[in-house]
Amino acid sequence: MIITIASREVRSLFLSPLAWSILAVVQFIMGYLFLGQLDLFLQIQSQLLAMNEAPGITEIVVTPIFANAAMILLLVIPLITMRLISEEKRTQTLTLLLSAPVSITEIVLGKFIGIMIFILIILLLMALMPLSLLAGGTLDYGMAASSFLALLLLLASFASAGLFMSTITNQPTIAAISTFGLLLLLWIVDWSADFTEAGSVISYLSLLNHYRPLLEGIFKSSDIIYYLLFITTFLTLSIRRLNADRLQH
């Protein structure tokens, strides 16, 4: 049942021009960044050869690409999650799901998995660029995989927050703006953390603080757990939110 809802979500996404244009724009920008990074590597290659323990191509090309991708997708993910529930509320198609023998948990998980399939497509297209380097060299696979995992977890967190925001309103644009606001706040929350007493707690909440180590190949289970908790929290909130619509306030 979850799969049915997820596959409908993916179909609907690809039936609208939105998904295609997002894929195209993201791919274009990432391609540009990739080429820039590659140029930089070629320029400093001779200096690197002279260095002891010089950073490899993975660190110079792949890691920055994924770091920039997170910023770009922070802008893009709200646009694809905004419609998830709010559009169905607005066109009153949510009734179809709510009166079918499907639980609200299944609806929310189905939507989430649907959007994750789309995100995986973005990620795989993006991963093709570093992988193309294999034609002329070799990569630090462990590090590349860690970067990939980091971005996947980060985007899943973005998507779960976007899904929750989409359950709150029936205006997709409001869902997009609030998702963007929330994510950006969580991204930059550690900037001001140094000046306050609760600094360490606040900076622990920052999405960025858990992203960077993973990206650099430092695999800490606490970071993974942070993301999993983040995703579970927002999915649970979405389920509760949809349930609350049925109940009396």
Partner 1 sequence: MSVTDEILVSVKGVSRFYGDLCAVNNLSFNIHRGEVLGLLGPNGAGKSTTIQMITGNLAPSFGQISINSIDILDRPKKAKQHLGYLPEHPPIYKEFTVDEYLRFCAKLHHIKHSERQEAINIAKQRCSLNEVGKRLIGNLSKGFQQRVGIAQAIIHSPPVVILDEPTVGLDPIQIREIRSLIRELGEDHSVILSTHILPEVTTTCDKVLIINKGSIVLTETTEDLQKRMQSSSLFVGFHQAPNAEELHKFAGVDSVSTTKEGYFRIHHNPDIDPSEQIVLKSVEQGWRLIEIRPEQLSLEEVFVDITTTEEHSSINNDDVMVEAVYS
Using CB under 8 A, list all residues that contact partner 1.
1, 4-5, 8, 11-12, 15-16, 91-103, 246-249
DSSP letter at 62 equals I
Cβ of residue 158: shortest distance to partner 1, in angstroms? 25
Q: Which residue's CB is nearer to partner 1, number 104 or number 155?
A: 104
Q: Which residue's CB is nearer to partner 1, number 69 or number 104?
A: 104
Q: Which residue's CB is nearer to partner 1, number 42 or number 247?
A: 247
Token pair belonging to 215: 């990206």
Cβ of residue 6: shortest distance to partner 1, in angstroms? 12
Identify whether the C-beta of residue 211 lies closer than 8 Å to the C-beta of residue 156. no
Q: Which residue's CB is nearer to partner 1, number 86 or number 178?
A: 86
Cβ of residue 86: shortest distance to partner 1, in angstroms? 15
Token pair belonging to 163: 């899904």
Cβ of residue 8: shortest distance to partner 1, in angstroms? 5
| Residue 3 to residue 191: CA distance in whole angstroms | 40
Name residues whose C-beta falls within 8 Å of residue 76's C-beta, 6 or more positions apart in sequence: 22, 25, 26
Cβ of residue 249: shortest distance to partner 1, in angstroms? 7
Q: Among 101, 52, 109, 64, which residue's Cα sits nearest to residue 85?
A: 109
**Residue matched to tokens 């969580």:** 186
**Residue matched to tokens 């509760």:** 240
Q: Which residue's CB is nearer to partner 1, number 11 or number 220?
A: 11
Which region, left, alpha or beta, applies to residue 75 given φ > 0 means left and ψ of -120 to 50 means alpha? alpha
